[in-house]
Amino acid sequence: MKRILSLIIILVILLGCSKNKMIKKMPVAKKMEKGNELFEKGKYNKAIPYFSEVVFERNSIHTPTAQMKLADCYFNQHKYTEARFEYEELIRLFADNKNIGRAYFQVGVCYFEESLSAHYTQVETRNAIRSFETFLEKFPFNPLKNEALDYIQKCQYKLLEKKYYNGLAYYKMYDYNAALMYFDEIIDLGNINEIDRLSLYYSTNIFIERNDLENAKKYGQKLITRYPLSKEAEKISAIFAKLD
C-alpha cells in the first residue's frame, strides 16, 4: 500500500513538472489567453501559474495586467496576504498602470479582511485605514472613493469595539478607573450605537458601586435619554427608583 501511495505521489509531481514546462514554453500572449480563460471560469488556482509566468517576464507588455490578475486570483480565493503582496508589487513596479488606483484600494481591502475580531489586536485594521487614506489622497476622484470611505467607517467602528472590550475586561477585573477611561472615550464621541449604550450602562454601574450617585445619575440619564426603550435603560431606571 505504501509503495502504491509513493508511486502516485511521484506521478503527481512528474505531471506537475511536465505541465510547468509546457506553460514555460508557451508564447506570452498564449499564456495570457489561457490564464484569462481560466480566470473567467472562476478557476483561479489553475490560472495562477499562467499569470505567474508572465509576471516573471518583466519586459512583456502583458506583465502589468498579469500582475493585477495574479493578485485578483489570490483575492478571489480569500488568500488576502498573498493578494496584498501582489497588489503591492504592481504599485511598486508599475506606478503608471491604469489599474494602479484599484491596486491601492485592494491593499486596504486585504488588510481589512486580514484583521482579527475586535477582541484581539487591531494592527491590520489600522493598516487598512492608512491604506484607504493613502488611496483617497492619491485618487480623490476614483469611482471607488465612497467604498473606501465606507471601509474607513467600518474600521473606525472596529477600533471603538476594541476600546469597549478593553473597558469591559477592566470592569470585570474591578479596575474601574481603567474601565472608565475606555468607556469615556466612547461616550464622549456622542455616537448612537450599541457600544455607546453599553459603555454608558457599565459606567453607570461603576458609579453606583462606588456610591457616587451624582455621577451615576449623570451617566444613567444619558443612557435613558439616548436609549429610552433599551433593557439597560430599564434596569438603571429601576435601580434609581429604589435609590430614591
- pLDDT tens sequence across 86-131: 999 999 999 999 999 999 999 999 999 999 999 999 999 999 999 9
* pLDDT at 157 > cutoff 60: yes
Residues 6+ away with beta carbon under 8 Å from 114 = 80, 81, 84, 124
Confidence at 2, pLDDT banded by 50, 70, 90: low
Q: In whole angstroms, give the CA distance from residue 72 to residue 83.
A: 7
Looking at 1.25.40, 1.10.760, 1.10.3470, 3.90.550, the CATH number of the domain 174-244 comes to 1.25.40
Is pLDDT of 195 > 70? yes
| pLDDT in the model for residue 189 | 95
What pLDDT shows up at residue 38?
Answer: 98
Residue listed under C-alpha cell 434609581: 240
42 pLDDT higher than 90 = yes
Whole-angstrom Cα distance, residue 236 to residue 168?
18
- Of 10-14, 52-56, 153-157, 218-222, the poorest mean pLDDT is in 10-14
pLDDT computed for residue 9 by the predictor: 43
Residue 129 and residue 131: Cα distance in Å, rounded?
5
Within 13 A of 215's CA, how many CA atoms are on the CB side?
A: 14
